[in-house]
Every structure is written in C-alpha cells, then in structure tokens.
Structure 1
Amino acid sequence: MASKEMEVVRNLDINRYMGRWYEIASFPSTFQPKNGVNTRATYTLKEDGTVNVLNETWTDGKRGYIEGTAYKADPKSDEAKLKVKFYVPPFLPIIPVVGDYWVLFIDDDYQYALIGQPSRKYLWILCRQTHMDEKIYNQLLQKAKDEGYDVSKLHKTPQSDPPPEGEETPRDTKGIWWFKSILGK
C-alpha cells in the first residue's frame, strides 16, 4: 500500500520560527547517545535567507553540538519542506550531508511543532519551553499517527529546569550522531 503524502505546514513564517526549541520527544537513533539530555535546537536567520542550525545535547555533563544550514527544498513552494545540511565531520567541512526536515504541524503562536521526514523513520516534537502540556503532547501524537508514524517508538527527552547555559559546559567534540540521526543513515 502506497503511503499517502504527508501533510506539511504551508506559509511557515520563518522569522517567527527562529530561536530556541527544546526537544520534548523524538524517535531514538542508533547513533544518538542513549543518555543524551537537554537536547535542543537553535535557529538563526542568515542574511542570505538560509537558517543557521545549532543542535546541542548533553551527555554525562558534556555538551555535544553540531551546526548546519537549513533552506527550503523548493524556494517556489509554500510548503514547509526544508533541507538541513551538515558537514561530516563537523570540524572538517568536507562532505556535506543533507537530510529532510518537514514541519508537519505548528501552533498559531509558534510555541510547539511536529517535525518529520518523508521516510517516517524520524520524528521530533519541539517546544519553546522545556516541558509541554500533556494535552498538547497527545494532540501532536495523534497528528503524527494520522500521518502514518509509529508513535510507540517516541522517546521523551529529559529536560532540566532551568536548562544548561551552553558554551561554558565541557564539550563533546564527536557530535557525529547528529547528522546520522537527522539523515536516518
């Protein structure tokens, strides 16, 4: 049976989408640290209209991070289908690796979002706060189910209050898991 095309947000206001998002839940990736906590993404609009992506997570008190670039897959389309490009490995920008980033749902206030991929192997629930109301979480789960995702695979990401500051914490320079996880490799 051919899967129906996923519904994607139209006319995403990229300016409002910028800023920090906390990962509330995601499909675990074999490459992502099982004990990664406080995972978050920070998006910054660049002058050329592309978006700088900073993904961070903490494992055993060390900050792992990777930066990349997001851009519209089809500039003429009003659909929120983005491509995210990272360089492997992060400290030697040689091999660009590109993954899909589809915004499946966002609320009117741009406070929470559901992100998927056409393969349906990856799913993220993001929120502006470190914690999400259970009712909203369940609505996003239902939306993901309706789009053909197996939501039993969702794993909640531990988030601390207040979240860690960032730059000052010790670094984990490996960071390789990010792109592998985002690309579904």
Structure 2
Amino acid sequence: MAAGEVAAAPVPVPVTGPAPVPRLDLERYLGTWRQLAAIPQYFNLICARDTQANYSLDPQGNIAVRNSCITWVNTVNEIEGTAVVNDRETGAQLHVSFPGVPTQDSLEGPTNYIVTALGPDYSWALVTDPSRLSGFVLARAAALDEGAWQEVLAAITAAGQNPCMYLTSPTTGGESRIVPLCVR
C-alpha cells in the first residue's frame, strides 16, 4: 500500500439462514411428530418427556399446530397455534404463532420455522429458524435407528449447527436420558 492510502474496511459477508429442503410435501408432513432432540428453549423447559407436535389443515388452509408434552409433575401441557407457509416455492419455510405468547402471537410474520432436512420417507425431520438458535429433531416413531441418527447429525452440521447444542428428549419407547447428541 502506498503512503497516504487508506485500507478499505472489509465488507461483512451477510449471514444467510439455513437452506430449506427443496420441496416439502405438506400432505405428507401433516400428522404427529415426536421430538427426539432439541436445542433447549424457554417454552419447553416444563416438558419432561413425550413432547409431540400435531399438524393438521385448518379451514383457512393454514396449519393448525398442537404441541403437547408430559411435564415434570406428570401432567399434560398443551398449546395450540397456527403455521402459515411463507415460502410457496419450497413450502418449507413457515411462520408459527401461538396466541398469548409474547413475540409469537401474530398470525403473520417472518419465517421462524424452516424444515432443513427430511428422511426420504418422511420418518424424521430437522427444523430450525433463520438465526439457528432453535432446533428440533422430529420423528414419526419414538426412536430412530443408528443409520437415521447419522443422517440427522449430518443434517444438523449441514444446517450450520453444532450437534452438541441439541439435547435428547425422553420419549416413551425411545431415549430415556437427556444427553447432548454429540455423545449420544
């Protein structure tokens, strides 16, 4: 650099959110999903086991969401909400809202639910958000075989997340411990 020249400040590279799956078949995605692992979130700290999400179409063509779990005092905790598809090209980016929950009570809004990976038979799914601060491993069954877990771990890494941030979710008929996925 010549005397008197000023070095240009580096241009920050924008951080992009994780890529959604190329195409989500909503009809196949609807139904009950069991949470097998998750990045802990304030809203699911009450859940001790058997965390589930049930998705169905509502009369407006949106997705009715019913999340439930068994609490630490052995009661059922439930919340109902709505998911709106924000990305018509892939169908895999949605805005999920829950009435009465701060920051999540508006029916319309930015994407906060991205399906980033799916088992080829829709037996498991990886869901996160644009900031990658949340993450959920969902499955149709209470447990996955080792091959599927390897696919899930690869998908978590491909989404720009660390598998050690995910903790297993106790599920009747599946995992009984709470441990980081990287040591599962």
Work out whether the TM-score is over 0.5: yes
TM-fit CA distance, 1:152: 0.8
Q: 1:96 aligns with which of 98, 103, 106?
A: 106
Say whether 1:63 aligns with 2:73: no
Q: 1:27 aligns with which of 36, 39, 42?
A: 39
Q: Answer yes or no: is the 8 Å Cα contact 1:88–1:96 preserved in 2.
A: no
TM-fit CA distance, 1:3: 3.3
Q: What TM-score, normalized by structure 1, do the two folds share?
A: 0.76
Paired letter, 2:78: Y
Q: Answer yes or no: is the 8 Å Cα contact 2:156–2:163 preserved in 1.
A: yes
State the partner residue of 1:151. 163
CA distance in 1, matches of 2:93, 2:22: 9
Paired letter, 1:67: E
Q: Answer yes or no: is the 8 Å Cα contact 1:3–1:148 preserved in 2.
A: no
Instruction: Extract unaligned runs of 5+ from structure 2.
Output: 1-12, 175-184
Aligned-pair Cα RMSD in Å = 2.4
Instruction: Give secondary structure in 2 for the equivalent of 1:87.
Output: coil
Instruction: Extract unaligned runs of 5+ from structure 1.
Output: 163-185
Q: What TM-score, normalized by structure 2, do the two folds share?
A: 0.77
Q: Answer yes or no: is the 8 Å Cα contact 1:52–1:69 preserved in 2.
A: yes
Q: 2:24 aligns with which of 5, 9, 12?
A: 12
Dislocated runs of 4+, deviation >6 Å: none
CA distance in 2, matches of 1:35, 1:69: 21
Q: 2:53 aligns with which of 3, 25, 41?
A: 41
Q: 2:121 aligns with which of 109, 113, 124?
A: 109
Deviations 1:99-144 (A, max 9, x none): 6110001122111101011111001000000111122112211111
Q: Answer yes or no: is the 8 Å Cα contact 2:115–2:128 preserved in 1.
A: yes
TM-fit CA distance, 1:58: 0.7
Say whether 1:74 aligns with 2:84: no
TM-fit CA distance, 1:43: 0.5
TM-fit CA distance, 1:74: 3.4
Q: 1:80 to 1:31 in 2, by over 3 A?
A: closer
Deviations 1:2-48 (A, max 9, x none): 43442211221111111100000000124432652100000011232
Instruction: Say which structure, 1 or 2, has more relative contact order (CA 8 Å, 6+ apart).
Output: 1
CA distance in 1, matches of 2:101, 2:92: 27
Higher strand share: 1
Q: Answer yes or no: is the 8 Å Cα contact 1:56–1:66 preserved in 2.
A: yes
Instruction: Give secondary structure in 1 for the equivalent of 2:98.
Output: strand
Q: Answer yes or no: is the 8 Å Cα contact 1:6–1:118 preserved in 2.
A: yes
CA distance in 2, matches of 1:66, 1:35: 12
Paired letter, 1:147: A
Greater shift after overlay, 32-41 or 56-65?
32-41
Instruction: Give secondary structure in 2 for the equivalent of 1:36.
Output: strand
State the partner residue of 1:183. none
CA distance in 1, matches of 2:90, 2:41: 30
